[in-house]
């Protein structure tokens, strides 16, 4: 059995979970509504305060999907109750970030500013304090979308290994390299 797939998902108060005929799981909660299509072989059993994901056989394909869909449904439940949050830090001289609604304006050392439109499902805030690096905070209910957008922002200027300049996640440990050896 899949260790992750066996674990039941506890359903918090105020969360409503439904599965329709096309095997689409819909989760409604205080922060919104999310849905996820599930493979037709994977079954979802909903009891009073628990949700259990089961598979029909021990085929490799079924075993692979068992833990995956359990994790995806668990992420939906957590997303509509607590939500997800990622913070990015801009490290570098002259690196700036400002936002107007869901339009993010980034100055990352290129000849022009980068204008990035954030999807409407996500909420973005930028903080710039004197003497500290600018921080971009992205919040939302969809974990996949949040991760995809934050990875795209990071890819605009990945942190380089010598000085560490670039866009990095807050708390991310960078692998640093030594510079040139001193002259003779």
User: Domain check: are 119 and 141 in the same one?
Assistant: yes
- CATH number of the domain bearing residue 52: 3.90.930.12
Per-residue pLDDT reduced to its tens digit, 160-178: 999 999 999 999 998 999 8
Instruction: For residue 29, list its beta bridge partners.
Output: 32
Residue 84 β-bridge partners? 140
Supply the pLDDT for residue 3.
84
184 is a domain residue: no
Q: Give pLDDT tens digits for 86-104.
A: 999 999 999 999 999 999 9
Write down the pLDDT at residue 31: 92
Please state the domain count of the chain: 2
The average confidence (pLDDT) of the chain is 92
Backbone angles phi, psi at 3, to 5 degrees: -65, -40
C-alpha–C-alpha distance, residues 142 and 36, integer Å: 11
Range of the domain at 29: 3-81
Domain-located, residue 176: no
How far from each other are the two terminal CA atoms of the chain, in whole angstroms? 62
Tokens of 80: 């509509």
Are residue 60 and residue 88 in the same domain, yes or no?
no
Last residue of a domain, one of 81, 100, 125: 81
Q: Maximum Cα–Cα distance for the chain, whole Å?
A: 75
């Amino acid at each position: 059995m899949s260790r992750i797939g066996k674990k039941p998902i506890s359903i918090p108060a105020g969360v409503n979970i439904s599965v329709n005929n096309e095997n689409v799981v819909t989760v409604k909660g205080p922060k919104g509504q999310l849905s996820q299509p599930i493979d037709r072989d994977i079954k979802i059993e909903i009891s009073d305060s628990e949700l259990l994901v089961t598979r029909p056989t021990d085929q490799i394909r079924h075993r692979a999907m068992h833990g995956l869909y359990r994790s995806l449904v668990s992420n939906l439940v957590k997303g509509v109750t607590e939500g997800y949050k990622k913070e990015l830090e801009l490290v570098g001289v002259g690196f700036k970030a400002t936002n107007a609604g869901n339009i993010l304006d980034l100055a990352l050392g290129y000849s022009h500013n980068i204008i990035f439109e954030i999807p409407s499902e996500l909420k973005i805030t930028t903080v710039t304090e004197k003497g500290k690096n600018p921080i971009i905070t992205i919040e939302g209910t969809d974990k996949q979308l949040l991760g995809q957008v934050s990875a795209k922002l990071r890819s605009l200027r990945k942190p380089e290994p010598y000085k560490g300049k670039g866009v990095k996640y807050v708390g991310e440990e960078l692998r640093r390299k030594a510079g040139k050896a001193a002259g003779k």
